Amino acid sequence: MIRAPRPAGLRPGWLAGGVFAVLVALVAGVAFGPVALPPAGVAAALLDLIPGVRIHSGLSPRETAIVTELRLPRVVLGLLVGAMLALAGAAYQGVFRNPLADPHLLGVAAGAGLGVTAVIAFRPATGDATAELPIGVPLAAFLGAIAAVALTWVLGGAGGRSRTPATLILAGVAVSAFLAAAQTFLLQRHIESLREVYSWLLGRLATAGWHDVLLVLPYAAITAVIVLSQRRELDVLTVGDEEATSLGLHPQRSRYLLIAAASLGTAAAVSVSGLIGFVGIIVPHTLRLLAGPSHRSILPLSVLFGGAFLALTDLLARTVASPAEIPIGVVTAFLGAPFFALVLRRGGVS
């Protein structure tokens, strides 16, 4: 009996490249900013933070404080958010078998955004756009995300039609528009929260401290464990439900688990960083073209390169117009819109 060849696994070269990209993004993100720091000194200071490692960085106490208290939490948060958005995008694309299945296009980000907006609007106004978000924000974002993806699923199959990738994308666009309208109505009723929500909507890592990192870390860990454990199942799902069932897989159960996990990761990322678009399209689709179609490669590489991509994008956002800072969501939109058009031109929806 001749067996079909197994999808190629993760190549060591790509794994090493992903780790190198993360390290470069980490050092560059910490070293460059309004106060330039020597990259070698920054690398030594970061190594000195590892338990059991003692290296003299040569940085002054003030420069060390800039590294550990200001820039490092921001870069770490960027790595986490980018990893979650890219991993969620790769999971959605595998589940729906379409390279345009992004958290934003399916309405997931809009649902998470509505959940966060509700929390900000109904809590006592602080008047401070940089105020820390409540600890319950990721849960509210997750509930909104799950509600949005459920609406997209129901609308995509309305009228007895089959849920093709194209109908799901169109349903997601409609759900996103509806949730955006609900968000606008909510803000009109709570105008005192407008500044805080608007700052959050544009996407920001500027106000991030270790509080935000600790807030999102458990959700990111749960998402990564579940999605990465399903990477082989995603490869089987690409051949169709009948073939997957014959191989002993429960397609619907795997699909729902992946959607829930990806929605959790998206919600956690959105809750601390705002609406940062296109990461879930750019990174997984590029990896698919370069490293092959197997999710055994795409998913772990999306974690590494997604984190590095957003951390470096954040570096660009805070240095290109220095001393002013461009919202990171604006930068990813500038990069992602042409990429989206290119994927669409190549036949992304089918």
pLDDT tens for residues 293-350? 899 999 999 999 999 999 999 999 988 887 788 888 889 988 888 887 777 777 655 5
Reported as type and span, the H/E element at residue 227 is helix 210-229
Mean pLDDT score, 227-248 = 82
For residues 348 and 105, the answer to whether their CB atoms sit within 8 Å is no
Q: Indicate the pLDDT class of residue 3, thresholds 50, 70 and 90.
A: very low
pLDDT at residue 165 is higher than 90: no
Per-residue pLDDT at 244: 73
SS3 per residue for the chain = CCCCCCCCCCCHHHHHHHHHHHHHHHHHHHHCCCCCCCHHHHHHHHHHCCCCCCCCCCCCHHHHHHHHHHHHHHHHHHHHHHHHHHHHHHHHHHHHCCCCCCCCCCCHHHHHHHHHHHHHHHCCCCCCCCCCCCCCHHHHHHHHHHHHHHHHHHHHCHHHCCCCHHHHHHHHHHHHHHHHHHHHHHHHHCHHHHHHHHHHHCCCCCCCCHHHHHHHHHHHHHHHHHHHHCHHHHHHHCCCHHHHHHCCCCHHHHHHHHHHHHHHHHHHHHHHHCCCCCHHHHHHHHHHHHHCCCHHHHHHHHHHHHHHHHHHHHHHHHHCCCCCCCCHHHHHHHHHHHHHHHHHHCCCCC
- Higher pLDDT: 122 or 312? It is 312
Q: Is the pLDDT of residue 4 over 50?
A: no
With a cut of 90, say whether residue 272 has pLDDT above it.
no
Q: For the whole model, what pTM was predicted?
A: 0.87
Q: Specify the pLDDT at position 31.
A: 94
User: What CA–CA distance (Å, rounded) separates 326 from 314?
Assistant: 9
Q: Which long-range contacts (CB under 8 A, 24 or more apart) does 346-349 make?
A: 348/98, 348/99, 348/100, 349/98, 349/100, 349/165, 349/166, 349/169
pLDDT digits (tens, 9 = 90+) for 39-74: 999 999 999 999 888 888 889 999 999 999 889 999
pLDDT at residue 99 in the model = 75
- For residue 72, the model assigns a pLDDT of 94
Structure tokens of 18? Answer: 């992903």
CA dihedral 325, 211, 301, 331 (to 10 degrees): -20
Mean pLDDT of the chain: 84
Query: Average pLDDT of 187-194?
Result: 80
Tokens at 102, concatenated: 């992004």
pLDDT at position 126: 54
Q: How confident is the model at residue 137 (pLDDT cuts 50, 70, 90)?
A: confident
Residue 163 DSSP class: -
Q: What is the C-alpha to C-alpha distance for residues 145 and 349, in angstroms, rounded to an integer?
A: 23
The residue that leads in pLDDT, 320 or 194, is 320
Q: Which percentage of the chain shows pLDDT scores above 90?
A: 36
> Are the C-beta atoms of 202 and 330 separated by less than 8 Å?
yes
Summarize the confidence of residues 150-159 as an average pLDDT: 84
